[in-house]
């Protein structure tokens, strides 16, 4: 196999447990976003747009839909004869085998795979972030600084800093200190979970980390602090632009809704940096004679006969006559039948809301307590159901049909 | 599975489509928001299990090759079989009405020789349909037919199809006669059946070996395959096979306009696009269509990547079209990447790709004679 300059390892095994029933049947990277996309599209498209043609995708949690969605990477032009996409699940060896214990352990278990390509640099990427980034810029930075490892960082609001891995850097960008989710953050530079390593450095670090029984085998928690203790040259690459880890139902909802703003902070309309996705063959969407569609994103294959306002619609969605969808996210092939109302809700893939239902309706509770209602994938809500978003209801809750 | 290969005559030219087919072969004419006419026949063949398809190309085949590439979207980029581009002969002398030129087949006979398939499915490319050919192939096998011609029963009030072919068949389907509808340039009453007739769909199945024999025996530069079959109906076992579903032929600006808008009918749209067999096309990876707060869209097909701020009614809007505030569009076919300025009024128009309509312009055609603006026009 010819040697590669760069190889990307894409961590896509996470459950995203804080997304509740949205990820009950699929891994978080396979979750729909922005209408026609799935979250992993962004990282894979970044690779494609950065000329990284060899990508290992590490899967573990409920990988079926993710595996079939990625296939051999054709949709992202990553089906290459020399390289391409490799799906890497945990596997059994002569002396047993184990699940991926942490992010570092997942890469450790696949060191043989990386060795096949013997790259100069290894990118460690996360499959569940929403961002557009040309990885050649961070690679150039890495080379110029003669770094052994580079971490992409982004400035976050101070009040949120304690949710992230926070870095202290000197004026050259060299990392002095790394604190995972610090109680009292000393900076607001957060790690984006994107790393570039010199392959020999990464290899050595993974072996040492694995040998340490006290380690959780996590990049942020264990490997990076260990390399800093060893005095390695670690640099922080400052990323300017939109980056989001949609870890919770609220942030997922918010990030989708932001796309509907007049000047959305995240531009999916950029023809020069396309986000590729593996789409089904659908015709253009149809808007009926009595429909009303405003401030929304609508994907192919939708049939809209009712009212849709301020919502994001994935491919194949149906909104029946007299139905009303407001401030909501409808995932692939969701069906809202005649005269049903859906407000501030996320309706899962293939879910069906039969006639005359009301979902996410607030009948007098405090509007500031308004929660997001989630209808689980494949569930059917019987005709006439009322799913109220009451005062005492949890901020988000799932409805299974 | 019946082993068959496909052969599409993509070298139809037309001057009845005005500017729409001026710089492109009819097969490459955009249709239905995101497709080209060629997609319908190609997808039908692929969905019928065909994995080898030859495409007879016209002299200006750039739009065809641009659209098809290696045939990936139709699953035709393959080791065994795949997509074959067959350069058509440059028959300057040929009459306009030749559909399946034997000369074109003669220069590409190697495509037929090197395959082992029992049958060849031939089709033109100016039609809109979604047919699974498996049943027709079974019919051809069961009847041990030499050729099977596909037809659709058409009522006398259907629009004329000058130069189109009609079939006559006996009870169990054996074809008795093939005849041509007259041209009606100055004569409003074309020669055609007075009662429901069998209109030939420019699609036929023929035994590969027989096709090669006919090609080898052809000396006339302008001979047509269907003509050759028609002359030998007595000696060959030729059958007629009905297609009950939707079918439309695009042979004039009017039919182009009408059949595009016909897609707004959910019955037709579902039959064409939402069944098990999908129509495949080149993927552009556009974002979803975006509606602004002023958007008012009624009874329309809207493709991906559009940005809509104005009012649109009874129209087909292709990919990446921008419609500005205050614009009012009705009965329109707007192709890819057109930009419609503020307060523009459009009614009964066809805008080819990249047309720019500047602010406050008013353009109105009539239902039977829509205004056609050529590619890249600026108004």
Asked if A284 lies within 8 A of B304 by C-beta distance, the reply is yes
**Residue of A34, A286, A312 lying closest to B301 (CB–CB):** A286
pLDDT of A170 higher than 70: yes
Comparing A323 with A376, the larger pLDDT belongs to A323
Residue A112 pLDDT level (bands cut at 50, 70, 90): very high
pLDDT, position A1? 64
pLDDT, position A89? 92
pLDDT of B199 higher than 70: yes
Q: Which residues of B touch A290 (CB under 8 A)?
A: 298
Most confidently predicted of A8-17, A75-84, B271-280: B271-280
Asked if A288 lies within 8 A of B298 by C-beta distance, the reply is yes
Mean pLDDT of B118-137: 95
**pLDDT tens per residue, range B182-195:** 765 544 445 555 67
**β A54-58/A6-11 pair status:** parallel
pLDDT, position B90? 65
What is the DSSP secondary structure assignment for residue B281, as one 8-state letter?
A: -
Closest A-chain CA to B310: A294
**pLDDT tens per residue, range A244-303:** 988 888 889 999 999 999 888 998 888 888 999 998 889 999 999 999 999 999 999 999
> What does the alpha-carbon distance between residue B272 and residue B278 come to, in Å, rounded to a whole number?
8
Selection from B370, B103, B130 nearest residue B255 by Cα: B370
pLDDT, position B93? 46
Asked if A284 lies within 8 A of B287 by C-beta distance, the reply is no
pLDDT of B97 higher than 70: no
pLDDT of A363 higher than 80: no
Mutation target vs B (from A75, A78, A132, A284; most B CBs, 10 A cutoff): A284
pLDDT, position A364? 61
Q: What are phi and psi of A134, to 5 degrees?
A: -90, 110
Q: What are phi and psi of B103, to 5 degrees?
A: -60, -45
> What does the alpha-carbon distance between residue B315 and residue B299 come to, in Å, rounded to a whole number?
7
Q: Which residues of A touch B293 (CB under 8 A)?
A: 294-295
Mutation target vs B (from A281, A310, A326; most B CBs, 10 A cutoff): A281
Mean pLDDT of A86-90: 93
Measure the CA angle with vertex B269, ends A269 and B267; round to 5°: 145
Token readout for A190 is 């957060």
Mean pLDDT of A187-201: 95
The full length of chain A comes to 401
**Residue of A74, A282, A296 lying closest to B291 (CB–CB):** A296
Closest B-chain CA to A316: B274
> What does the alpha-carbon distance between residue A191 and residue A202 come to, in Å, rounded to a whole number?
18
E-only strand ranges, B193-334: 197-207, 238-242, 248-249, 289-291, 296-298, 300-302, 307-308, 311-313, 316-317, 322-323, 328-334
Mean pLDDT of B350-374: 94
Mean pLDDT of A341-363: 89
Q: Which residues pair with B339 in a beta bridge?
A: B322, B356
A-B CB pairs within 8 A amount to 106
Residue A399 pLDDT level (bands cut at 50, 70, 90): low
Please provide the DSSP assignment of A130-167 as one string: EE---HHHHHHHHHHTT-SEEEEEEE--GGGGGGSEEE
Mean pLDDT of A41-49: 95
pLDDT of B2 higher than 60: no
Asked if A81 is an interface residue toward chain B (Cβ–Cβ < 8 A), one would say: no
Contacts of A214 (CB under 8 A, 6+ apart): none
pLDDT, position B75? 92
Residue A356 pLDDT level (bands cut at 50, 70, 90): very high
Mean pLDDT of B210-219: 90
Scan for tokens 């770094």, then name that residue.
Answer: A147
Q: What is the 3-state secondary structure (H, E, C) of B51-95?
A: CEEEEEECCCCHHHHHHHCCCHHHCCCCCCCEEEEEECCCCCCCC
Given a contact cutoff of 8 angstroms between Cβ atoms, the answer to whether A338 and A318 are in contact is no
pLDDT of B293 higher than 80: yes
**Residue of A274, A281, A295 lying closest to B291 (CB–CB):** A295
Selection from A332, A351, A131, B336 nearest residue A340 by Cα: A351
Mean pLDDT of A373-382: 89
Mean pLDDT of A347-374: 80
H-helix or E-strand spanning residue B213: helix B208-216
CA distance A247 to chain B (A): 23
Q: In chain A, positions 244-273, which contact chain B (CB-CB < 8 Å)?
A: 262, 268-269
Contacts of A368 (CB under 8 A, 6+ apart): none
Asked if B301 is an interface residue toward chain A (Cβ–Cβ < 8 A), one would say: yes
Q: Which residues of B touch A274 (CB under 8 A)?
A: 285
Comparing A72 with B60, the larger pLDDT belongs to A72
Choose the weakest-confidence range: A346-360, B82-96, B221-235: B82-96
Q: Which residues pair with B238 in a beta bridge?
A: B147
> What does pLDDT average to over chain A?
90
Sign (positive or negative) of CA dihedral A81, A87, A92, A98? positive
pLDDT, position A130? 94
Please provide the DSSP assignment of A294-333 as one string: ESEEE-TT-EE-SEEES-EE-TT-EE-TT-EEES-EE-TT
Mutation target vs A (from B69, B272, B285, B323; most A CBs, 10 A cutoff): B285
Closest B-chain CA to A314: B288
Q: Which residues of B touch A281 (CB under 8 A)?
A: 278-281
Asked if A288 lies within 8 A of B305 by C-beta distance, the reply is no
pLDDT, position B333? 97
Given a contact cutoff of 8 angstroms between Cβ atoms, the answer to whether B225 and B214 are in contact is yes
Q: Which residues of A touch B30 (CB under 8 A)?
A: none
Q: In chain A, positions 316-345, which contact chain B (CB-CB < 8 Å)?
A: none
pLDDT of A368 higher than 60: no
Closest B-chain CA to A41: B285
Give residue A199's Cα distance to chain centre.
25
Asked if A296 lies within 8 A of B317 by C-beta distance, the reply is no
Residue B121 pLDDT level (bands cut at 50, 70, 90): very high
Q: Which residues of B touch A294 (CB under 8 A)?
A: 291-295
Asked if A281 lies within 8 A of B279 by C-beta distance, the reply is yes
Closest B-chain CA to A76: B285
Distinct helix (H) and strand (E) counts, chain A: 8, 33
Q: Which residues of A touch B305 (CB under 8 A)?
A: 269
pLDDT, position B112? 93
Q: What are phi and psi of A182, to 5 degrees?
A: -75, 145
Asked if B300 is an interface residue toward chain A (Cβ–Cβ < 8 A), one would say: yes
Selection from A158, A232, A149 nearest residue A194 by Cα: A149
Mean pLDDT of B225-251: 93
**pLDDT tens per residue, range A303-337:** 999 999 999 999 999 999 999 999 999 999 999 99
pLDDT of B92 higher than 80: no
> What does the alpha-carbon distance between residue B196 and residue B156 come to, in Å, rounded to a whole number?
6
Mean pLDDT of B18-36: 90
**pLDDT tens per residue, range B136-180:** 999 999 999 999 999 999 887 777 777 788 898 888 889 988 888
Closest B-chain CA to A269: B287
**Residue of A275, A276, A284 lying closest to B33 (CB–CB):** A284
**β B356-357/B339-340 pair status:** parallel
Q: Name the H helices within A219-378.
A: 224-229, 249-258
**pLDDT tens per residue, range B35-90:** 999 999 999 999 999 999 999 988 788 899 999 999 999 999 988 889 999 988 76
Selection from B137, B116, B57, B45 nearest residue B89 by Cα: B57
**Residue of A279, A286, A297 lying closest to B283 (CB–CB):** A279
Percent of chain A with pLDDT over 70: 95
> What does the alpha-carbon distance between residue A362 and residue A393 come to, in Å, rounded to a whole number?
11
Token readout for A390 is 């009451």
Q: In chain A, positions 282-301, which contact chain B (CB-CB < 8 Å)?
A: 282-301
Given a contact cutoff of 8 angstroms between Cβ atoms, the answer to whether B125 and B38 are in contact is yes
pLDDT, position B20? 87
Q: In chain B, positions 70-89, which contact chain A (CB-CB < 8 Å)?
A: 72
């Amino acid at each position: 196999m010819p040697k590669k300059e760069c190889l990307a390892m894409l961590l896509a095994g996470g459950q995203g447990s804080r997304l509740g029933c949205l990820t009950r049947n699929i891994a978080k990277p396979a979750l729909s976003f922005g209408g026609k996309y799935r979250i992993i599209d962004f990282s894979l498209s970044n690779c494609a747009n950065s000329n990284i043609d060899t990508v290992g995708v590490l899967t573990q949690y409920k990988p079926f839909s993710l595996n079939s969605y990625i296939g051999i990477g054709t949709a992202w032009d990553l089906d290459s004869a020399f390289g391409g996409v490799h799906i890497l699940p945990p596997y059994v060896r002569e002396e047993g085998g184990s699940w991926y214990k942490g992010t570092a352990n997942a890469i450790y278990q696949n060191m043989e795979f990386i060795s096949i390509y013997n790259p100069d640099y290894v990118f460690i990427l996360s499959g569940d972030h929403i961002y557009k980034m040309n990885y050649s810029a961070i690679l150039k930075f890495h080379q110029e600084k003669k770094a052994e490892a580079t971490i992409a960082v982004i400035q976050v609001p101070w009040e949120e800093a304690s949710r992230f891995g926070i870095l202290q850097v000197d004026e050259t960008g060299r990392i002095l200190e790394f604190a995972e989710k610090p109680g009292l953050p000393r900076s607001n530079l957060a790690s984006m979970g994107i790393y570039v390593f010199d392959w020999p450095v990464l290899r050595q670090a993974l072996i040492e980390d694995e040998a340490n029984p006290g380690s959780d085998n996590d990049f942020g928690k264990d490997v990076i602090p260990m390399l800093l203790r060893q005095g390695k040259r670690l640099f922080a690459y400052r990323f300017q632009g939109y980056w989001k880890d949609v870890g919770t139902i609220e942030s997922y909802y918010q990030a989708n809704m932001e796309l509907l703003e007049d000047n959305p902070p995240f531009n999916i309309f950029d023809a020069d940096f396309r986000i590729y996705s593996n789409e089904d063959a659908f015709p253009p969407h149809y808007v009926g004679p009595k429909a009303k569609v405003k401030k929304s994103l609508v994907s192919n294959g939708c049939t809209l006969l009712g009212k849709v306002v301020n919502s994001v619609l994935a491919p194949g969605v149906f909104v029946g006559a007299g139905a009303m969808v407001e401030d909501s996210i409808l995932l692939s092939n969701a069906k809202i039948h005649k005269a049903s109302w859906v407000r501030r809700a996320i309706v899962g893939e293939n879910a069906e809301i039969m006639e005359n239902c009301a979902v996410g309706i607030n009948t007098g509770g405090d509007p500031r307590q308004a929660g997001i209602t989630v209808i689980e994938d494949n569930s059917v809500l019987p005709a006439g159901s009322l799913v109220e978003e009451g005062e005492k209801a949890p901020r988000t809750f799932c409805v299974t049909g | 599975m019946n082993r068959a290969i496909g052969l599409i005559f993509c070298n139809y030219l037309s001057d009845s489509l005005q500017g729409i087919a001026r710089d492109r072969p009819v097969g490459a004419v955009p249709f239905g928001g995101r497709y080209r006419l060629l997609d319908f026949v190609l997808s039908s063949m692929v969905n019928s299990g065909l994995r080898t398809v030859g495409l007879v190309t016209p002299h200006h085949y750039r739009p065809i090759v641009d659209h098809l590439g290696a045939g990936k979207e139709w699953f035709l980029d393959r080791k065994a079989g795949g997509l074959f581009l067959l350069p058509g002969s440059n028959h300057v002398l040929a009459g306009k009405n030749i559909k399946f030129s034997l000369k074109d087949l003669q220069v590409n006979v190697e495509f037929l020789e090197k395959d082992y398939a029992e049958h060849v499915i031939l089709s033109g490319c100016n039609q809109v349909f979604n047919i699974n050919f498996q049943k027709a192939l079974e019919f051809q096998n069961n009847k041990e037919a030499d050729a099977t011609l596909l037809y659709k029963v058409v009522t006398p009030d259907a629009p004329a199809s000058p130069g189109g072919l009609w079939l006559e068949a006996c009870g169990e389907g054996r074809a008795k006669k093939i005849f041509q509808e007259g041209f009606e340039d100055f004569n409003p009453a074309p020669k055609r059946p007075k009662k429901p007739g069998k209109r030939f769909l420019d699609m036929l199945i023929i035994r590969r070996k027989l096709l090669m024999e006919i090609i080898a025996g052809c000396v006339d530069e302008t001979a047509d395959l269907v003509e050759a079959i028609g002359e030998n109906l007595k000696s060959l076992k030729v059958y007629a096979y009905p297609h009950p579903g939707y079918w439309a032929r695009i042979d004039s600006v009017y039919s182009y306009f009408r059949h595009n808008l016909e897609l707004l009918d959910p019955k037709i749209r579902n039959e064409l696009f939402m069944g098990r067999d999908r129509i495949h096309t080149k993927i552009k990876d556009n974002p979803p269509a975006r509606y602004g707060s002023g958007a008012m869209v009624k009874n329309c097909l809207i493709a991906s990547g559009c940005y809509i701020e104005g009012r649109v009614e009874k129209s087909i809007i292709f990919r990446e079209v921008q419609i500005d505030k205050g614009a009012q569009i009705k009965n329109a076919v707007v192709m890819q990447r057109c930009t419609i300025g503020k307060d523009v009024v459009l009614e009964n128009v066809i805008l080819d790709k990249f047309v720019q309509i500047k602010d406050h312009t008013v353009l109105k055609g009539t239902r039977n004679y829509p205004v056609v603006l050529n590619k890249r026009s600026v108004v």
